[in-house]
Amino acid sequence: MVQFNFLCNMGGNTFGKLFSITTFGESHGEGIGVVIDGCPAGLDIDPQKIEQDLQRRRPGQSKVTTSRNEPDSCSILSGTLNNKTTGAPIALWIANTNQQSKDYKHLEHSFRPSHADYSYYAKYGIRDHKGGGRSSARETAARVAAGAIAKMLLDHYKVTIQAYVYAVGSISLNETSAIDYTEIEQNIVRCPNKDIATSMISAIGQIKKAGNTVGGIVKCEITGVPVGLGEPVFDRLNADLAKAMMSINAVKGFELGSGFEATRMMGSEHNDVFEMNEGKIVTKTNYSGGIQGGISNGMPIYFKVAFKPVSTIMQSQSSINTEGENVQLEAKGRHDPCVVPRAVPIVEAMAALTLADHLLRARASKI
């Protein structure tokens, strides 16, 4: 017998102070939704762009992802009039359609290793075991949909966000790799270097065949950011980006600009020297990653996000059930061998939501 000391929940499903989203829904429930509050009125909404990003995230899109096949079409329930935002909250809804809850029946009372099963049960005293319930990465579909609208707002201000796969296991780009942005959506792993993409795809294929999974890194680049976004001392732009990324399922690390490499550098190497370029202040190098003192400095913002290997493997694993007894778990269902190709639009979405929020927070001119 295990003694549980259940704790009450106190919210936590809202992100953003002015451009603010609240997500809801479970993996095998009615669907997944999100309410955006604070989107300025008068913004043109292109529903196709929401669908496009959802397609980039959706399962079943290629052989390197899960074979679950969810169309993930999004309805706009409120907040627009003739495809223009009205200033009212925008609710988006993605109905669930292809759930196979029976795949999870055997997990009702067991805790899968490195999943949220145990910590959710121990916290809430009740757990929706079907597909992970609320802890499922399916929830990120709502973020991608909301992020698509944030991107439309950023687009209006000429801010561009592009993420891509930087590493799959130990197959990785490095600082000198050739980068071709047009390549990203041309290969199923979303790597901007065709040769490395091919290696990644082949590696994922082998790992999948072995019933195993592997981690990876997504890199994100943001250009066109005005100088002055970020609200020190706590709501620094980098701090809010870090929170945004670490709130994504399976993320284990975040680094801005030089990141952990900076810890091995000296000040004389790492300092980004200011100079003029066509009437604008720029820096010669950009180890700062576009953010200094928590505030954007006009240089490109870039950061890396570390994803762990997917916890569901097609191998037998020992575990514990709610009674504290040993159990042996056999995976069923359809799962991703590597999450990073589908994580690319999720990282972009969370970056877009963070930037949109900070854009509104810093929107007015000084006195």
Q: Which of residues 230-259 bind its own copies (CB under 8 A)?
A: 230-236, 238-247, 249, 252-259
344 cis-preceded (ω within 30 degrees of 0):
no
Nearer to its own copies, 184 or 237 (CB): 237
Q: Assess 99 for contact with its own copies (CB under 8 A).
A: no
Q: Assess 158 for contact with its own copies (CB under 8 A).
A: no
Q: Assess 272 for contact with its own copies (CB under 8 A).
A: yes
SS3 244: helix
Among 48, 176, 260, 278, binds its own copies (CB under 8 A): 260
| Burial class, 15, CB count within 10 angstroms (exposed 0-12 / middle 13-18 / buried 19+) | buried
Q: Assess 23 for contact with its own copies (CB under 8 A).
A: yes
Q: What number of CA atoms fall less than 13 Å from residue 1's CA on the CB side?
A: 2
Nearer to its own copies, 76 or 188 (CB): 76
Q: Assess 84 for contact with its own copies (CB under 8 A).
A: yes
Torsional class of 328: left (φ above 0), alpha (ψ -120 to 50), beta (otherwise): beta
# binding residues, its own copies (CB under 8 A): 164
Least distance to its own copies from the beta carbon of 224, Å?
A: 14
Among 146, 229, 355, 356, binds its own copies (CB under 8 A): 229
Among 145, 196, 214, 352, binds its own copies (CB under 8 A): 214
The sign one gets for the Cα dihedral 34, 37, 39, 40 is positive
SS3 335: coil
Give every CB contact of residue 333 below 8 A, 6+ residues apart in sequence: 68, 100, 103, 104, 312
Among 46, 63, 67, 88, binds its own copies (CB under 8 A): 88
SS3 150: helix
In the window 160-179, what residues touch its own copies (CB under 8 A)? 167, 169-170
Q: Assess 181 for contact with its own copies (CB under 8 A).
A: no
Q: Assess 66 for contact with its own copies (CB under 8 A).
A: no
In the window 316-345, what residues touch its own copies (CB under 8 A)? 317-320, 324, 326
CB distance 4 to 125 below 8 Å: yes
